[in-house]
Structure 1
Amino acid sequence: MPTNRPTRSRARGADPKPTLSAIRQTIVHCDRCPRLRAYCARVAREKKAAHREDIYWGKPVPGFGDRRARVLVVGLAPAAHGANRTGRVFTGDGSGDCLMRAMHRNGFASIPTARHAKDGLKLRDAYITAAVRCAPPGNKPTRSEIANCQPHLEAELGALTQVEVVVALGRIAYDTYWRIMRARGIRPSPRPAFEHGLVFTPDDGPSLVASYHPSRQNTNTGKLTPPMLARIFRTAGQLVGARASAPRARTAS
């Protein structure tokens, strides 16, 4: 049922923020990183034997999810035969299924898997994106490529006006989000070091929850287990709507 919501008047002469739809188009057509664009296109042509009948996406991958999300999940980058194939972040590989199981367990995802873009997956109160939008060779983007992609994440943050909690999956996502926080004037001293389960709540801005990335390297070795990742999203759910009143850093239980 439609509800009446108060609207804010825009200052005369102020530029409107781009919508998520506009941001999506900007991301999909981005060509700032020739090395990554060439790699994604080559992977899409050559394909993996198991997916030789698939039509690969082969372009930068935008975020997806609930436009009114209060939880923003930031990963590293699309996998060459995962999101670079399916066109949806954290979809089509083991990392995506691992993430969706944890999110589904905590009510953020409608199903516990992410197989393809039309699998019926719906996110609830969550939006998933990445620090880098093109699959990098060896899963290792360069510093300049990470910097080139940062404006896309900044734009999404601007459009997702109800975000209260950011879950950073891995050090690159964590560091990228900290650079955005610093640009917004949030500069705690000392800055909390990356640690799985770390929670930082600033005076002004979303709480930040750090997690190891659900890559096969981490999950196959036991560095990140399903219960560990589930606890991250349990913490995110607890933080939503219950922001602390002062900056503090702690570790999720």
Structure 2
Amino acid sequence: MKMAAPARERLVPAEAEPDRDCPLCPRLVAFREHWRAQEPSWHNEPVPSFGPVDGRLLIVGLAPGLRGANRTGRPFTGDYAGDLLYSTLIRFGFATGTFEARPDDSLRLVDSRLTNAVRCVPPENKPTTEEMRTCRPFLAATIGLLPRLSAIVALGKIAHDQVLAAHGEKLSRHKFAHGAVHRLGEVVLFDSYHCSRYNTNTGVLTPEMFHAVFAKVRAHIDALV
């Protein structure tokens, strides 16, 4: 059964979200077309950001998972990473409702927004350096359209690097480390290991470690009130 794609957020300018048939990355286009033929009921297009545009928190992942967001059309929906991420957002007041791993569930983000550094699913979950560079203007536009943005959580080093590049910051000045905090002008960047099944199964990231990052974020945002 075809899953309903989530409605795009209001007030999002076109340059912040790629078109359905974005032609900019030939390898990703070919992969997308392959899966459109294989699974025509799937989303199989650039995955739009999710959450209110007046949120103070932006969470940046790497790219849609093949059978996760690429299938469902909502970031971190349909694979294990979403189970830990969304339960953590609910725990710390950044989401309400019930996460049921489908875009028509009752989950709603609160004061937060989700996006990916690369909007199209890459083969083997590995975008190239050029694909990351090509997609970066969409990330920069997404960051720029959030008028109340105060905190960014980068899930993994690639997301961390892309956020820095979108801000025009030198990577050498801000080393990625789980739990690290970086001041980028008026925005604070919080680093976390990615909440992938591989990281959690190998013990690289535990729920407690993930919760500790979001506890810092919650305290930072609450201090702004």
Identical-pair percentage: 41
2:211 equivalent among 218, 230, 250 = 230
Quote the residue 1:78 is aligned against.
64
The answer to whether the aligner puts 1:132 opposite 2:113 as a matched pair is no
Cα offset, 1:216, TM superposition: 1.2
Change in Cα spacing, 1:229 to 1:181, as seen in structure 2 (3 Å) is same
Query: Aligned to 1:20, what secondary structure does the other structure show?
Result: coil
CA drift at 1:27: 4.3
2:28 alignment counterpart? 36
Structure number with larger C-alpha Rg: 1
After superposition, the C-alpha distances for 1:74-126 in whole angstroms (9 at most, x for unaligned) are 00000001111001111111111111011111011114535111112100000
- Residues paired across the two proteins, number: 215
Q: 1:95 to 1:116 in 2, by over 3 A?
A: same
> Which residue of structure 1 lines up, in the alignment, with residue 173 of structure 2?
191
SS in structure 2 opposite 1:72? strand
Query: 4+ runs of 1 displaced by more than 6 Å?
Result: none
The amino acid across from 1:95 in the alignment is A
Structure 1 segment 11-160 matched on structure 2, within 5 A:
19-20=11-12, 22-23=14-15, 26-47=18-39, 55-111=41-97, 113=99, 115-160=101-146
2:7 is matched with none
Unaligned 5+ residue runs, structure 2?
1-9
CA contact (8 A) 1:100 1:111 kept: no
Equivalent-residue separation in structure 1 for 2:82 and 2:32 (angstroms): 19
Structure 1: how far apart are the matches of 2:70 and 2:135?
A: 16
Gaps of 5+ in 1: 1-17, 48-53, 244-253
Per-residue CA deviation, residues 192-228 of structure 1 (Å, 9 max, x unaligned), is 31100001124x2310000000111101111111111
The TM-score normalised by the length of structure 2 is 0.88
SS of corresponding position for 2:194: coil
- The more displaced of 72-81 and 213-222 is 213-222
Q: 1:73 to 1:58 in 2, by over 3 A?
A: same
- For 2:44 and 2:143, how far apart are their aligned partners in 1? 25
Does the residue aligned with 1:176 lie in a helix, a strand or coil? helix
Aligned counterpart for 1:212 among listed residues 185, 193, 204: 193
Partner of 1:10: none
For residue 14 of structure 1, what is the aligned residue in structure 2?
A: none
| 1:200 and 2:182 aligned | yes
Alpha-carbon contact 1:199-1:207 (below 8 Å) kept: yes
Change (3 A) 1:78 1:69: same
